[in-house]
């Protein structure tokens, strides 16, 4: 009986260490980011090498472990809120964290050429771009109008759902992140391929500019791109 117990314990240890080992690079990358966010929230930042040796080492090449698309908002710097150092994350920042062909190309470069195993789409609380879209009147114009147009479907959905002003803004922020995911999946050829091959994990979240915490947002099942005829 005792021998059986020992064998069982051994089996459990081997089995679970196997599971941990098998949890892919994308999962590990996500863990690294979330651990970093915990340190940031706790004010217990990792000591980073920002010196000459590190820079020299990185001249040989970069191998970021994650791609982050987020808002240009000065209160949302991903390297700081995820507590990461030089060469760690490949970042695309655009007001409202929306994607156009150039942003998509940057994401594709990070995933396909730099082999980053994780894409994190990060929105944030009190986003000015989303607020401006909710308040927009008339036809969106100019370059800012292009951003507004991208966020508009999320704003309309949030208004339909209703609630207080803050609730509508919160809904719009989350819906916008989901729309960005759908945009990535529909307008990129390579990203869905990498996802299906298990080479890339895609997650989404919202950064709370008050608490500093990153919360996860569940992503919808992306609709595959319509084939052009």
Which token pair is 74? 């000065």
- Contact pattern for Zn ion over residues 14 through 53, marking x by CB under 5 A: ----------------------------------------
Give the contacts of 172 (CB within 8 A, at least 6 positions apart): 130, 133, 134, 151, 154, 155, 157, 158, 159
Closest CB to Zn ion among 33 and 127? 127
Three-state DSSP at 24 gives coil
Report how far residue 156's alpha carbon sits from residue 135's, in angstroms, rounded to the nearest whole number.
11
Q: Does 170 bind Zn ion (CB under 5 A)?
A: no
Chosen residue from 127, 202, 203, 204 binding Zn ion by CB under 5 A: 127
Q: Strand 66-70 relative to strand 89-93: parallel, antiparallel, unpaired?
A: parallel
Find the binding residues for Zn ion in span 51-90 (CB under 5 A).
71, 73
Closest CB to Zn ion among 29 and 169? 169
Q: Does 103 bind Zn ion (CB under 5 A)?
A: no
Contact region for Zn ion (CB under 5 A) — 102-110, 125-133, 134-142, 208-216? Answer: 125-133
Q: Does 154 bind Zn ion (CB under 5 A)?
A: no
Report how far residue 223's alpha carbon sits from residue 229's, in angstroms, rounded to the nearest whole number.
18
Q: Under the rule (CB under 5 A), what is the footprint of Zn ion? A: 71, 73, 127, 129
């Amino acid at each position: 009986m005792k021998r059986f117990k020992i064998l069982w314990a051994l089996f459990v240890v081997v089995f679970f260490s196997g599971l941990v080992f098998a949890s892919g690079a994308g999962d590990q990358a996500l863990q690294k980011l979330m651990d970093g966010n915990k340190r940031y929230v706790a004010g217990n930042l990792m000591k980073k090498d920002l010196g000459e040796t590190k820079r020299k080492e990185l001249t040989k090449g970069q191998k970021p472990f994650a791609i982050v698309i987020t808002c240009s908002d000065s209160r949302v710097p991903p390297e700081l809120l995820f507590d990461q150092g030089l060469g760690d994350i490949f970042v695309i920042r655009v007001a409202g964290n929306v994607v156009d062909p150039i942003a998509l190309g940057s994401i594709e470069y990070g995933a396909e050429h730099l082999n980053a195993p994780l894409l994190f789409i990060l929105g944030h609380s009190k986003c000015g771009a989303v607020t401006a879209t909710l308040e927009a009147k008339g036809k969106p114009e100019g370059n800012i109008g292009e951003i507004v147009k991208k966020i508009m479907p999320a704003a309309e959905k949030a208004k339909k759902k209703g609630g207080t002003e803050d609730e509508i803004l919160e809904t719009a922020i989350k819906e916008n992140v989901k729309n960005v995911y759908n945009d990535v999946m529909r307008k990129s050829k390579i990203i869905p391929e990498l996802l299906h091959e298990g080479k890339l994990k895609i997650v989404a979240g919202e950064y709370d500019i008050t608490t500093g915490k990153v919360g996860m947002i569940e992503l919808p099942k992306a609709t595959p791109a319509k084939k052009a005829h």
